[in-house]
Structure 1
Amino acid sequence: MQYVATRITADGRDGFAVEAGRYRLIAARACPWANRAIIVRRLLGLEDAISMGLTGPTHDQRSWTFDLDPGGVDPVLGYERLQQAYFAFDPDYPRGITVPAFVDETTKALVTNDFAQMTLDMSTEWTAFHRDGAPDLYPEHLRDEMAPVMKRIFTEVNNGVYRCGFAGSQETYEAAYDRLFVALDWLEERLATQRYLMGDSITEADVRLFTTLARFDAVYHGHFKCNRQKLTEMPVLWAYARDLFQTPGFGDTTDFEQIKKHYYVVHSDINPTQIVPKGPDLAGWLTPHHREELGGRPFGDGTAPGPVRAGEEVPAGANPAS
């Protein structure tokens, strides 16, 4: 899929300058790509600068909808469907209506849905509005090393689970399955001796991996047939995922109920009954992970974000910490 590649930058070179209060992040807790943006916004403390609207966990063929809001209408944009922001940008918009998306509150039109660039720009272009103690999620001295790591995570893990789930034949499924678990084995080995993907501190690479791991046992293992092992049966990755989940910004933005509802209801071709599994038991996410024994400083020279913004909390019962 092609994305609208317009960027919001400090110098406004694409026509959209960084400006507090101008842009609204439209996201869905159910979506792994959108979950990344929610995490990064929270870690960097951009809540005052960038407002956030959340869609419901399900959608039809037309669009994500704002059914979590009173009257089913986003209170800032006045829209029932994210599609309306896309059509305000291009009345004949030909591609899928995706989250996350940045919408200009002044025009109520889409600015960009380029999910991979959006989070990097929040780290590099929005620095004037970062909170005191915001971590450097995209350190300049690590970018060359991060690029191939993030590329492999994207192609083999983030997309790899989908390649399994939507395979059209036994042969393509088995090839996708093998590719996925080769990559997960590589990650088990990489993370056995270092706390995070790039060393001692959390970076954008960890955010990108976490949102797939958080969905693995709840969705991908069964729904997408990624069933060589559960995450809970991969000792290093399971400890790493728990370490991140228990870090402010990760677990407190994760909604397992919405995650399950999205996949099992929307993918009716894979799950015709639309029955949503009751499990798995989530209590394990809060068990000790012992990753601190590897050392490291989760936020580098920065600090942890404070409490979740009022009104942005994950609903009670939707994750084990709530």
Structure 2
Amino acid sequence: MDNNTRKMLGLTDENITFPENWLKDTKIKGVTAQLISGSLTYNPTHCEKCGRKNQGEIVKNGTKTTRTQMALFRNTLTYLELKRSRFLCRNCGQTFMAQTPIVARHDHLAKELKYQILLELAQVSSRKSIAQRYFVSDITVLRIQEELAKTYHKSYQTIPQVLCVDEFKSMKSCEGAMSFICVDGTNNRLFEVLEDRRLDKLVQYFMRFPRKARLGVRYLVMDMNASYQQLIKIIFPNAQIVTDRFHIVQQITRSLNQLRIKKMNAFNTSNPEDKKKYRRLKRYWKLILKDSDSLDNRQLAYHSMFKRHLYAQDIIDELLSYDSQLKLAYEAVQLLHYYRKKKDTDG
């Protein structure tokens, strides 16, 4: 699954990996549904039970498969089935499971699905009709409404110092194609959901707050959307932009792919040897963009373009031998992947 598909489906957690055939049509409780399969694992920084920092005492201890109901995609019921790593802390002897920001702990509804239901609640719609539209129970809609009432108190006097902003696909009844969500970065509580993410609508909303409150915003955590950068200049002049890691990875991956295309198109395809290199770079583009840790180097397979059996890493090495600049860029991207996973910003 490429980064654009991840973003479209709301699956931006970089700790989740997907197999080649990650989507299948099925029936769940008699309803036609799309089932997305993936795996979730990472290196925990500490034990969730005793709080001890991980210095080698936390090890993997099997897996557990969970199923999360996602936001509707093409008006179809969609589930994410994750094989999650279970970890054992040798210090306290307790186990805990890998978590993802896509869904809250112990919840079976994705956060984005809840956001869509919240938008529906703001419209003139009955709970029953919302429940039917999103394949949930009336009680579930009521529970989401009550959760909102506990955490969300409308006030135009204060704004959190850290604002995490993002966008998600709107309902058909909304004016804009994409909606806007804003979360307090200090406590992960919902701050606002707006049905239109366009800049003029955001400016109109945030200008309701006093200037003193807007000047108090220190950080805006966001993707690389240029319109949000304009929001900084107009509304939050004292804030600094913090780009979340997923969008950094997305940007460097896109840049590497653009370089691959540039080098590929530089070959003279009327020359047989150059044409061979051109076709290989075009055919195996996904391998170049992959994190090297996710390459399958256990399977030796025959590749007709090379006319021999090769491991995935052998193909990468061959492709990178065609251009020194492409090789240097690939190694730089892999180094960034390494430090991202290790969370070592000093690297």
Same structural fold, with TM-score higher than 0.5 when normalized by the shorter chain: no
TM-score by length of 2: 0.27
TM-score by length of 1: 0.28
Give the structure with higher Rg (CA). 2
Q: Say which structure, 1 or 2, has more relative contact order (CA 8 Å, 6+ apart).
A: 1
